[in-house]
Chain A
Amino acid sequence: MNPYPITFKPLGQEALIIEWPNEVNKNILNDILLLQSSVENELGKLLLETVNAYNSLTLIFHSPISSLNDTKKIIQQLHQLQPSIKSKSQKTWKIPVCYHKDFGIDLDELAKQHELSTDEVIAIHSEVEYTVYFTGFLPGFLYLGGLSEAIHTSRKATPRLKIKKGAVAIGGQQTGIYPSESPGGWNIIGNSPLDFFDPKHNPPCFSQAGDSLKFYSIDRNEHQWILNEVERGTYKLESK
């Protein structure tokens, strides 16, 4: 028996949102991802695509849903039958981050706010395995769960117009990496030389919902070296 109740909310004629309890929880994420693969198998050709978020799975159909009740019934049955074990292979990616002050332009201020040293902030930020819940906001922007409460930091009062590609940042209870140059209001603590979105690759992102990320600290030289390797296409990203 599946422990999580699900509810259905249509979004227009061609999309159906399946919703889980309103919390950020890795077990809920796994339940969503399991249902996502069984729904994709079952409804296959009717579906244009499916998108998950923290507590929802949105099914986008090619054409208006002909019988909402039948569709809900099928999904409920799939969900009831679902085992509560992981089926997808989930990876942990090792993400190099340079926390040097040239990149981590808000690191000093953020450390001061929490009465920590910058080294302590770096240690706290890089000791956790973060869960990738979903990708949104920008192509390749990962919504990560697991940031230590000790370094939760409010967004900046005035957002910056330009944040560098690769910027590693903290906004409220979340940490994330800007996959491309963009405006943004998060506190920037470092930079990762990796490509989090590459339109020339299929898939364009190396990680997906359900994976984990682990940051590790690198110096400026290593950052430059990895950047060059990534540009040449010869960098080998590590995972376990």
Chain B
Amino acid sequence: MTADGFVEVITPGLYTTIQDKGRFGFRKYGVPVSGVMDEQSASMANHLLNNSSACALMEITMVGPKLLFSAPTLITISGADISPQLNETPIPLNKVTQVLKGDVVSFGKLKFGLRCYLAVKGGFQTEMVMNSRSYFTPVTNNNLVQKGDQLSISSFNESEHHLSSVKIDHLLFSPALSCSKGPEFHLLTSTEQKSIFGKKLLVSQDNNRMGYRLEGYQFQYPTTYNMLTSSVLPGTVQLTPSGKLIVLMKDCQTTGGYPRILQLSKEGINKLAQKKVADSISFLLEN
């Protein structure tokens, strides 16, 4: 598809980026993988449009942007409900919606979740750097979409396309995050090794694409531990010297020196990506 149209950013929203599945093969140079925080919602949005799973989408966080379409296309919005609207009329999540030249997509009140994904037919055709369109400075020039940006898309006429839709998966917004034990799990006290599973923890204000700091319980930081900096992944749960846990997310560094207590599953990462400050979560040990 040729990029013969664009989406113009009238207002950018709180934290809006372009993301695809991520940037792989460059961790050895210290480059984070990046990519969509909630893979389940993103692939749903692409899937409904019959897009390839590699198509880049817009990741929208808490407060949505206002977008002007210069070309006709189909869109789908999946994930958090930020009251999406087409020309000020509400549109449903997980449903293919036809957009015409000159149409405006905007958002309103956040009803549930934190991040939603706006897919366009054929994907956003923004700059590809190191095999990915995922925003991350200094790999890409920008960290966020900005007012006035014209994001390339391909025009598409819907005529014979079936406007499919699917139901919202409410499990995605539930608090239990499945995980496995990390390499330094044994550094927790024996009491904590049991109580960590099922304990209610809270998402702190300090949550973003790099990581989520959790509040609500003070863990004991091991006194006699000696670990050299080693690999971490999105979903790695680290115990920090303050006794708090940090769950690393998609823009996390490639290496870290804190004990790796747990590792979230992909489903766990998707669910955490939909949590905002003061939401509660718990860890669920998978078999």
Contacts and interface: CB of A to CB of B under 8 A. Distances in A.
Interface of A: 9-13, 15, 17, 19, 22-24, 48-56, 58, 60, 134-141, 143, 179-180, 197, 199-200, 202-205, 208-209
Interface stretch (B41-49, B55-63, B227-235): B227-235
Interface stretch (B84-92, B104-112, B252-260): B252-260
Interface string B120-137: 000000000110000001
Interface string B132-146: 000001111000000
Given A22-B228, A60-B233, A204-B130, A49 B138 contact: no
Nearest to B137: A180
B30 A11 contact: no
Given A49-B24, A199-B129, A143 B29 contact: no
Contact of B228 (A50, A51, A53, A180): A53
Contacts of A204: 26, 29, 31, 130
B98 to A, nearest CB: 36
A199 B138 contact: yes
Interface string B243-262: 00000000001110000100
Interface in B1-36: 24-32
Which of A12, A23, A135 has most chain B Cβ within 10 Å? Answer: A12
Contacts of B26: 49, 139, 204
Main secondary structure of the interface of B (DSSP, over half): loop
Main secondary structure of the interface of A (DSSP, over half): loop
Given A12-B263, A19-B230, A54-B230, 13 more contacts: A12-B264, A22-B227, A22-B228, A49-B28, A51-B27, A58-B231, A135-B30, A135-B254, A136-B253, A138-B253, A139-B29, A180-B138, A204-B29
A50 B28 contact: yes
Given A48-B24, A199-B138, A136 B228 contact: no
Contact of B233 (A15, A135, A143, A180): A15
User: What 3 pairs across the A-B complex have the smallest Cβ distances?
Assistant: A136-B255, A58-B231, A9-B183
A10 to B, nearest CB: 7
Contact of A51 (B28, B129, B227): B28
Given A48-B24, A197-B29, A136 B229 contact: yes
Nearest to B232: A11
A56 B230 CA distance: 6
Contacts of B182: 11
Interface string B173-202: 000000010110000000000000000000
B28 A209 contact: yes
B135 to A, nearest CB: 12
Contacts of A48: 24-25
A138 B183 contact: no
B229 A54 contact: yes
